[in-house]
Amino acid sequence: MDPAATVAPPVAPGTGALAVETIGMTKRFGGFTALDDVSMRIEAGGFHALLGENGAGKSTLVKCVMGFYAPSAGSVLVDGREAEITGPKGAQERGLGMVYQHFTLVPSLTGAENLVIARADAPALLDWRTERAALSDFMARMPFRLNLDRPVAELAAGEKQKLEIVKQLYLKARFLILDEPTSVLTPAEAEEVLGLLRGMTDRGALTVLMISHKFREVEAFARSLSVLRRGRLVGGGAVGALSRDDMAAMMVGERTVRTIAARIGEPDAASTVLNVEKLEATDASGMRRIDIADLRVRGREIVGIAGVSGNGQKELADVLGGQIRALGGRITVQGEPYRGTRGESRRHRVRFIPEEPLRNACAPRMSVAENLAFRAFDRRGEDPAGSPTFWLDRRAMGRRAKDLIARFKVKTASSEAPIATLSGGNVQRAVLARELTDPVDLLIVVNPCFGLDFAAVSEIRSRIVAARNAGAAVLLISEDLDEILELADRIVVMSEGKLVYETPAAAAESSVIGRHMAGHH
Amino acid sequence: MNDDLGLWTVLLAVIGGAIRVSTPFLFVSLGETITERSGRINLGLEGTLVFGAMSAYATAVVTDSPWAGVAVAGLAGGGFGLLHGFICRFPRVNDVAIGIALMLFGSGLAFFLGKPFIQPSAPPLPAIPLGFWSDTPQVQAALRVNVLFLVGAALAVFLWWAFRNTKAGLIVRVVGDSADAARAMGYDVDRVRLLATAVGGVLAGIGGAYLSLYYPGSWNEGISSGQGLMAVALVIFARWNPLACFGAALLFGGAGALGPALQSVGISQGYYLFYAAPYVLTLALLIATSSPDRALAGAPGELSLK
C-alpha cells in the first residue's frame, strides 16, 4: 500500500459523528480466511463494542476499515456513501481515526510535536507560539491533563494511551476505533476515558467502535455490540439484551474453558525465598527511580504487586531479572545474594517471565524448539542440573520441544517454525513451558496475560497457581488488578517507585487498593 | 627558544588547526546527522568525501573556478547519497554493508578518474583574514578562516533549529524514530530516507571540496585518511545534535593539529603519537561518555546500531 496513492478527494470537512457500515467484508491471507463476509452497521453517535477471542478477526476488520489492508471483497460505507480508503491518511481525511494497541507515538518527540506533525496540514515552518496557544486551547476542552512538553518516551503507558486518544480527537476524528483501550489504564482511568468518549457520542460528536475483552466495560459504556468468531460475525445486538453468559458463549463457541485451580495449602511461614531490602535503582534513562524498603516472598505464596503502569514495576522486574544494576540495597534468594546471573538462577531455581515475552524472553527468529531450549541447551542431555557441554544435542532438543509443545498445547506449525510466527497466547504458553517444567523455587512473572484472550488467560493463570501449590514462591507484577485479586495470597501496591500498601488478599478491598494505586496514601 | 612563546605558538596553531581541519569533519558529520536522524547509517561518506575532493579539484582545474568545483562535488555527493538510498530500499539490504561497499567504490572511482589531476594545480577557495588586527603572523595565520567553515557553522545552527521548527525536520525525526508511526501518518519512509541520504551526500561532497581546494589544498590519494569515517563516529559522540557536531568537529580538528603544531616548535619526541591524537580522543570520549546503566540517549529508534 502506498499511502501517497490516495487520490479520491476527501469529503468536505464536516463536524459531528459519522455512521460507518461494512458490507460483505472479506479478507484472505493466502488460503487462510481471516475475515469472512462481515457486514455490520454502526450508527452515527453509537458506541459499539467488538468482542471476540484473539485471532477472531477483530483487528483484521478494523484494519480493513482503516485502509491498512485492502479487503479481498466487500466495501465500507461512510455516512451511507461508499468510501474507497486506500491508506491511513485517506482514513484520516474522512474523519476516521484509530487508537492501536501498540503505541504509534514517536518516542523521542514531545507530546506537542507528536500532535502537530500528525496533522495533515502542518505548516512547513512551525510557529511554536501559535501552535502552543492552539494546543492549550484544545487541551482545555479535554478532561485529561497531559504534559505535552515531555518526550513521549518518558510518559507512563497510561499517559501514552490518553495522548493517543487526544491525538485522534486533535486530528478531528469523528469515528474512532479503539483497540483494547483500557489494558494499560487503572480502573479509575479507564472509567474516566471511556466516560468522556461515551459523553461525546451522546452529544453526537463522535462514533466509537471499541475492541474489548472486558465484559464489565462493554456493559458499562457500549450501547451495542457485535461478536466475531473465526472471522465470522456470530451475533450481536443492544447491550443489556445479552447476558455475560450469552456473550461468552458466542465468543468461544462450544468449548469448555478451564477454571482456575484453587490455591491449596498455606504459605510456608518458615521459608523466605525472596528478600528485597532497601533496594534502590533507576531505569536506563535515569528518569524513574525505585526505592523498595522491604519485600519478602515466602514459599507457596503468590505476592501480587499492583500498580498503574509506569510506577516502577518495570524497573523492579528489570533489577530482579538482572537487566539493570541496583544502586543500593540487597536482594537475597534463599539467603544468598542474588544478581540475576544465569548461574544464580540455575542454583536457586529462579524462573523469570518478563512482560511482552516475544520481545523480552525469546529470540523471535529462532525456532520454537530452540527457544524452548534456552534454559538448558548448554547442559548435557538438556537437563538443567546436568554438567556443561560444548556440543548442542539437537535430537534431545527436538524431543523435549515436541513433548513441551504437546503438554502445554502450544499451537505451532512445527517445532522448527520461528517463534515470532506464533500468536501472543502461544508465545506465552511456550515461555511458560520453558520456565515451569522443571522444579521452581522462585517465579517472577510480569503482566503474564497482557493482550491474551480469556481462554488463554485462565490456562496461564492456572499454571501459575499450580507452581505456587507445588511450593514455589511467586512474585506476580501485574497492571491488571483483577488478575492480582484472583491469584495473590498477599497484595502489595506500588506507587511512584515505592511499596505503599500491603494487605492479605483475603482482607483486600479493591477500593482501598485503587486509592493507593492512584497515589492517595 | 622561549618556553612561553612555544606554548602560545602551540596553542595558536591548535586553534588555527581546529578551524582549518574541522571543516570536512563538520560537513560530513552534519550530513551524517541528517541521514542517521532519518534512521539510516551511511558509512559510505568516506568514499563520498574522497570523490568530492577529486571532482572538485578536477572541475576547478578545468573551469578555473573553485566554486564550480564545490558545486560539482556537492552534486556528485548527492548522487552517491541517492545511490545508497536507492539500494537500501530493497528488502533485506543492510545499510551498513552498502555503506562499506560505496566507501570502497567512491574512493576507487576517485583514484581512477583523478589520476590526471594529481599534477596540475587548481585555484583555491578564498579565505577571510579575520586576524587583520594583529601584527603577529601566527595570529593572522590562525585566523584565516575559510568561507566554507562559516557556512558549516551557520548550517549547524540552522539544522539544530530546523529539527524542531520545521515540518521537514520533524518528519525526518519521526521516520528515524518510528517507521511504523511515520507510515501511519502517511509518510513514505523510503522516500524520506532517500532524500535524507542524498542531502547527507551533498554535504559530504562539499566537505571533500574543502579538502582538495583549501586544506591541504591538493588532490592525492591519501587526502582523507579516514576523516569521513571518523566523522561518522563523531555523530554518535555528538548524540545526533548538530550543535554538538560543531563542537566535536572543532575538538577533533584541534586534536588533529596537535601533532604538526608540536613538531613546528621542535618537539619531535613521540611525534607519531601526537598524530594519533584524534583517534585516541575518539576512543577516550566514547568510553568516557558510555555507561552500562544508561541507554544511548538521543539515538534514533530505527538506527541499526542499537
Report in angstroms the alpha-carbon separations of A277 from A117, A430, A491.
46, 33, 18
Chain A nearest-CA distance from B128, in A, is: 33
Q: Is the pLDDT of residue A386 over 90?
A: no
The band of A456, judged by pLDDT with boundaries at 50, 70 and 90, is confident
The band of A422, judged by pLDDT with boundaries at 50, 70 and 90, is confident
Least confidently predicted of A80-94, A392-406, A429-443, B26-40? A80-94
**Average pLDDT over chain A, rounded to an integer:** 85
The band of A355, judged by pLDDT with boundaries at 50, 70 and 90, is confident
Give residue-wise pLDDT tens across range B99-144. Answer: 999 999 999 999 999 999 988 899 999 988 888 888 888 788 778 8
How confident is the model at residue A49, as a pLDDT?
A: 94
Fold of A271-349+439-521: Rossmann fold (3.40.50)
Please state, in angstroms and rounded to a whole number, the distance separating the CA atoms of residues A138 and A132.
10
- The complex's ipTM works out to 0.84
How confident is the model at residue B28, as a pLDDT?
A: 96
List the 264-303 stretch of B: residues with Cβ below 8 A of A: 292-295, 297-298, 300-301
List the 102-121 stretch of A: residues with Cβ below 8 A of B: 102, 104-109, 113, 116-118, 120
**Any A CB within 8 A of B306 CB:** no
Cell numbers representing residue A155 in the block: 510518559
Please name the residue of chain B whose CA is at the shortest distance from the CA of residue A118: B185
Please state, in angstroms and rounded to a whole number, the distance separating the CA atoms of residues A263 and A488.
9
First-to-last C-alpha distance (Å) of chain A: 51
Of A2, A113, A284, the CB nearest to B170: A113
The band of A521, judged by pLDDT with boundaries at 50, 70 and 90, is low
Please state, in angstroms and rounded to a whole number, the distance separating the CA atoms of residues B216 and B223.
8
Highest mean pLDDT (candidates A165-174, A417-426, B204-213): B204-213
How confident is the model at residue A12, as a pLDDT?
A: 41
Q: Do B292 and A325 touch (CB under 8 A)?
A: yes
**Antiparallel, parallel or unpaired: β B127-129 and B144-146:** antiparallel
For B167, other C-beta atoms within 10 Å of its C-beta total: 16
The band of A7, judged by pLDDT with boundaries at 50, 70 and 90, is very low
Mean pLDDT of A210-236: 88
3-state DSSP percent of chain A in helix, strand and coil, to 5 = 35, 25, 40
Q: B258 versus A404: which is more confidently predicted?
A: A404
Cell numbers representing residue B247 in the block: 563542537
- Which residues, 6+ apart, have CB-to-CB distance to B114 below 8 Å? B54, B57, B58, B219, B221
Chain pair A-B, CB pairs under 8 angstroms? 80
Cell numbers representing residue B158 in the block: 540552522
**Any A CB within 8 A of B158 CB:** no
How confident is the model at residue A133, as a pLDDT?
A: 93
The band of A260, judged by pLDDT with boundaries at 50, 70 and 90, is low
Give residue-wise pLDDT tens across range A106-122. Answer: 988 999 999 999 887 88
Q: Do B295 and A284 touch (CB under 8 A)?
A: yes
The band of A252, judged by pLDDT with boundaries at 50, 70 and 90, is low
| In chain A, where the domains are located | 17-106+174-252, 271-349+439-521, 361-438
Q: Is the pLDDT of residue B187 over 70?
A: yes
Tell me A110's DSSP state.
Answer: B
- Which residues, 6+ apart, have CB-to-CB distance to A175 below 8 Å? A17, A18, A20, A42, A78, A95, A96, A97, A206, A207, A208, A209
**How large a percentage of chain A has pLDDT more than 90?**
41
Give residue-wise pLDDT tens across range B261-294. Answer: 887 777 777 777 887 887 788 788 778 877 766 6
Give residue-wise pLDDT tens across range A30-86. Answer: 777 889 999 999 999 999 999 887 668 888 899 999 988 889 999 999 998 998 888
> Are A64 and A87 spatial neighbours (Cβ–Cβ below 8 Å)?
no
Please state, in angstroms and rounded to a whole number, the distance separating the CA atoms of residues A161 and A210.
14
The band of B67, judged by pLDDT with boundaries at 50, 70 and 90, is very high
The band of B239, judged by pLDDT with boundaries at 50, 70 and 90, is confident
List the 276-295 stretch of A: residues with Cβ below 8 A of B: 282, 284-286
Chain A nearest-CA distance from B158, in A, is: 13
**Any B CB within 8 A of A89 CB:** yes
Question: Please, which residues bridge with residue A75 across strands?
Answer: A23
The band of A13, judged by pLDDT with boundaries at 50, 70 and 90, is very low
Within this chain, domains A17-106+174-252 and A271-349+439-521 share the same CATH topology: yes
Q: Is the pLDDT of residue A11 over 70?
A: no
Please name the residue of chain B whose CA is at the shortest distance from the CA of residue A151: B298
**Average pLDDT over chain B, rounded to an integer:** 88
List the 308-337 stretch of A: residues with Cβ below 8 A of B: 324-325
Find, among A224, A172, A217, A219, the residue nearest to A193 by Cα. A217
Fold of A17-106+174-252: Rossmann fold (3.40.50)
